[in-house]
Amino acid sequence: MAKYDFDFKKKVVLAYLKGEGGRDYLAKKYSVASSHHILEWVNNYNMLGDEGLKRSRKKESYSFEKKLSVVRRIEI
C-alpha cells in the first residue's frame, strides 16, 4: 500500500468535505490507490480531527515484566 503524508490526506479530505467530488472521483484525481482510503481518512478526520490523519507507528519497547503480565492475563 502506498504511504500518504498528512498534508496530502488533509487536502483530499477537505476536497471531499467541500463537495468537490465523490471518493471515486477524488481517488482518480489525486491518484489514490483505492477510494476506500479516502472513506477511512474522512471517517478518521471526522472523529479525531487532524490526529486522525497522522500515522501512528511508534517503535515501542516493552519491559520483560510488562510482557509477562500480558501473557499471564491471557492465560487466565
Rounded to whole angstroms, the Cα distance separating 73 from 54 reads 31
Counts for the chain of helices (H) and strands (E), in that order? 4, 0
- Regarding pTM above 0.75, the answer is no
Buried b (16+ CB within 10 A) or exposed e, 29-51: eeebeeeebbeebbebbeeeeee
The answer, yes or no, to whether residue 76 has pLDDT greater than 60, is no
What's the full length of the chain, in residues? Answer: 76
> What is residue 1's predicted lDDT score, i.e. its pLDDT?
46
> What is residue 57's predicted lDDT score, i.e. its pLDDT?
65
Q: What is the pLDDT of residues 8-49, one digit of tens each?
A: 999 999 999 999 999 999 999 999 999 999 999 999 999 889
